[in-house]
C-alpha cells in the first residue's frame, strides 16, 4: 500500500515527539542518507560556488534574458538593505537614538543602565569561556587526508556533570562536545573528563609520595552508555566488566521491556538509533552517572572545524570554583586530612607544600597521628 511505504520513508525524518522538547527515535545513518539524497552535492560542498555558473543555471531555469538578470541582481543585492548613506560611519556598538523597534527599546534600557554603573567588567574567565566556542571555527588541516569529508554528520552532545553538588541546583553544568558521525562511542567516552576518574583511593599519610600511582581511571575501566533500550559496554580491556548485567537482570523481573547489549567500540554514531534532545545515560566508575543529551545533528559546513584530528571538539565547559588550601589560600587543595591535631577543623584541605611543611619534618618523617587522603578538586579540568 502506498501509505505503508511512505511511513517507512518518513521514519528517517526526525519529527518532534513532544513539541520543542525532543524527537522520536531515528537512525542517524539513514538520516544522513535521506539528506544526501535530497540535496545536490554542490549544495553541501565546501567550495564556493562560482557566481557565473549560478547565474547561468538560474537564467536557464527561469528562461529570462541577461538584462533582466542584471536588473534582478541589482534589486536583490544586499546594498538595498542598508539604511543611511554609505559615507556616514556607523557605530554599531551604540543603539541609535530614538529607536522605534521594540528590541532596540529594550536594549537601550540595558545600555542606559550600564552607563550608570561605575565599574562594568566581565570576568576574564567568563570571557575566555565564551571564546572557547569559536576557537576551532574554520580550521583546516595541514594534511588533506585529515579533512572531514563533505556530507559528514556532526553531532553536538551535552554531557552533564554528575549532580552531586548542592550549588548546581539552578544551573545545569555541562560540557558540550562536537563529534563526527564516523566516530565510535569509545571516542566519546575518552573525551569525557570527569574528576571521579582521577580520584585516588586509599589513605596515604605514611607514604605521601606514592599517591599518584593509583588513579581510579586505571583501576576501574568499565563504563557503559545507554541509548534507547540498548546498553553499550566498554569491553576494550580484559578487566572491564559488564556493568549493565545487573540492570538487565533486574529489569527482567519487573515489568520492563527487555534491554539489549552491545559493544561500545563496535558502535559508531551512524549505527545508533537515538532521539535528539532526550536525556540518556553514561555510567562509569561503577556509580558515577552522567546525563548525556544529543542536542543537534547536522551536516558539516564550510565554516566548521574541518580537521579530523581536533575532534572530539570541546565547545563549552562549565567552570567549577576550586577550593583552596586552608593555610595559604593560594594553591588548590591537594590533601585532605582527618583526625589531625594540627588542623583547625576536621576535615581540612591543604596544598602540597603546606601539607609537607606542617606534617612532615625535613627528613620526611611523619609528625603526629593523622589520616591523609589525596584530594582531587572538582575544578581540576578548568
Partner 1 sequence: MPNGKAKDRFLKPLVADYEELLGRFQQTESVRFEEFTAIWRNMGFSSVFYGSLAGNEMREFCHLTLTMAFNYFLPPYSFQIRVGGLYLLYGLYHTQLASPKEKIRIALKDWEQIQKFYQDSVNSQHYDAVYIIRKLIAENAVLYTAMPQMLTFRVKKKPQHHKVCEEFRDRPERVKDLISTDMLQEVANIQGHHERLKASVLERSSIAVTQQDLPARLHSCVLEFLHWQDRHENHGDADHLVYAEEKAQQVESSNRAQLLASIKTKSYGCLAEASKSRRHRQVEMDTSISGTGYIKEAPKYHKSRAPSLKARTNKNLCGEGDEQKIQYWLLSAAEEDKTALKRQKRKHSFRW
CB atoms within 10 A of CB 156: 18
Report if residue 256 touches partner 1, rule: CB under 8 A: no
Which of 191, 288, 297, 372 lies at the binding interface for partner 1 (CB under 8 A)?
Answer: 297
Residues 106-125 that bind partner 1 (CB under 8 A): 106-111, 113, 122
List, as one string, the DSSP characters of 95-133.
PPSS--SHHHHHHHHHHHHHHH-S-----HHHHHHHHHH
- Identify the residue among 258, 303, 341, 363 touching partner 1 (CB under 8 A): 303
Could you tell me the smallest distance in angstroms from the CB atom of residue 162 to partner 1? 17
Smallest CA-to-CA distance from 350 within 213, 205, 167 is with: 205
| Cβ nearer to partner 1, comparing 64 with 210 | 64
Q: Which is nearer to partner 1, 105 or 210 (CB)?
A: 105
Rounded to the nearest angstrom, the gap between the alpha carbon of residue 269 and the centroid of all alpha carbons in its chain is 15
65 to 104, contacts with partner 1 by CB under 8 A?
68, 72-73, 75-76, 78, 80-83, 91-96, 99-104
Q: Please give the residues from 126 up to 185 whose contact with partner 1 meets the rule CB under 8 A.
A: 126-127, 130, 133-134, 137-138, 156, 158, 172, 176
Q: Smallest gap, in angstroms, from Cβ of residue 237 to partner 1?
A: 32
Residues 327-346 binding partner 1 (CB under 8 A) are 327-329, 344-345
CB of 242 to partner 1, least distance (A): 28
Helix or strand holding residue 283 (H, E) = strand 279-284
Is 278 one of the binding residues for partner 1 (CB under 8 A)?
Answer: yes
Cβ pair 276, 297 in contact under 8 A: yes
Q: Minimum distance from CB of 304 to partner 1 (Å)?
A: 9
How many residues appear in the chain?
382
Check if the beta carbon of residue 231 is closer than 8 Å to that of residue 261.
Answer: yes
Q: Does 276 bind partner 1 (CB under 8 A)?
A: yes
CB of 108 or CB of 263, closer to partner 1: 108
Closest to partner 1 by CB, 213 vs 303, is: 303
State in Å, rounded, how far the first CA of the chain is from the last one.
57
Residue 300, C-alpha cell as written in the block: 558539516
Q: What one-character-per-residue DSSP string does 5-45 give?
A: HHHHHHTTS--EEETTTEE--EEHHHHHHHHHHHS-TTTS-
Give, as ranges, the residues between 35 and 64 that touch partner 1 (CB under 8 A).
Answer: 35, 38-39, 43-44, 48-49, 54, 57-58, 61-62, 64
Supply angle C-alpha 292, 294, 296, rounded to 5: 155
CA dihedral 215, 216, 217, 222 (to 10 degrees): 160
Asked whether position 13 contacts partner 1 by CB under 8 A, the answer is yes
* Alpha carbons 241 and 235: distance in angstroms, whole number: 7
Binding residue for partner 1 (CB under 8 A) from 175, 177, 194, 293?
293
Supply the minimum distance, in Å, between the C-beta of residue 131 and partner 1. 9
Give residue for cell 556607523: 90
Amino acid at each position: 500500500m502506498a501509505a505503508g511505504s511512505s511511513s517507512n520513508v518518513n521514519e528517517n525524518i526526525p519529527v518532534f515527539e513532544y513539541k520543542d522538547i525532543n524527537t522520536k527515535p531515528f537512525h542517524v545513518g539513514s538520516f544522513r542518507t535521506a539528506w544526501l539524497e535530497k540535496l545536490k552535492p554542490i549544495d553541501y560542498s565546501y567550495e564556493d560556488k562560482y557566481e557565473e555558473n549560478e547565474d547561468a543555471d538560474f537564467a536557464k531555469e527561469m528562461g529570462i534574458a541577461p538584462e533582466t538578470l542584471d536588473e534582478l541582481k541589482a534589486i536583490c543585492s544586499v546594498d538595498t538593505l542598508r539604511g543611511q548613506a554609505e559615507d556616514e560611519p556607523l557605530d554599531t556598538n551604540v543603539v541609535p537614538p530614538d529607536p522605534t523597534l521594540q528590541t532596540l527599546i529594550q536594549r537601550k534600557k540595558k545600555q542606559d543602565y550600564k552607563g550608570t554603573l561605575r565599574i562594568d567588567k566581565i570576568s576574564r574567565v567568563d570571557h575566555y569561556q565564551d571564546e572557547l566556542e569559536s576557537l576551532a571555527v574554520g580550521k583546516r588541516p595541514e594534511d588533506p587526508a585529515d579533512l572531514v569529508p563533505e556530507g559528514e554528520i556532526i553531532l553536538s552532545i551535552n554531557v552533564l556533570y554528575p549532580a552531586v553538588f548542592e550549588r548546581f541546583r539552578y544551573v545545569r553544568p555541562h560540557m558540550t562536545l562536537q563529534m563526527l558521525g564516523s566516530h565510535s562511542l569509545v571516542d566519546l567516552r575518552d573525551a569525557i573528563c570527569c574528576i571521579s576518574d582521577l580520584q585516588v583511593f586509599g589513605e596515604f599519610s605514611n607514604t605521601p609520595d606514592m599517591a599518584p600511582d593509583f588513579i581510579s581511571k586505571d583501576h576501574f575501566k568499565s563504563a557503559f552508555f545507554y541509548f534507547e533500550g540498548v546498553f553499550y559496554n566498554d569491553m576494550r580491556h580484559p578487566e572491564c566488566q559488564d556493568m549493565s548485567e545487573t540492570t538487565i537482570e533486574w529489569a527482567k523481573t519487573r515489568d520492563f521491556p527487555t534491554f539489549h547489549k552491545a559493544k561500545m567500540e563496535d558502535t559508531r554514531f551512524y549505527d545508533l538509533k537515538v532521539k535528539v534532545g532526550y536525556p540518556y545515560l553514561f555510567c562509569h566508575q561503577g556509580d558515577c552517572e552522567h546525563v548525556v543529551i544529543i542536542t543537534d545533528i547536522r551536516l558539516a559546513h564550510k565554516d566548521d572545524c574541518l580537521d579530523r584530528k581536533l575532534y572530539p571538539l570541546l565547545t563549552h565547559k562549565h567552570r567549577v570554583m576550586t577550593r583552596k588550601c586552608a593555610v595559604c589560600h593560594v594553591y588548590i587543595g591537594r590533601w585532605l586530612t582527618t583526625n589531625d591535631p594540627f588542623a583547625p577543623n576536621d576535615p581540612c584541605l591543604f596544598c602540597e607544600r603546606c601539607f609537607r611543611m606542617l606534617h612532615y619534618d625535613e627528613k620526611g618523617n611523619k609528625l603526629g597521628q593523622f589520616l591523609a587522603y589525596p584530594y582531587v578538586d572538582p575544578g581540576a579540568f578548568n
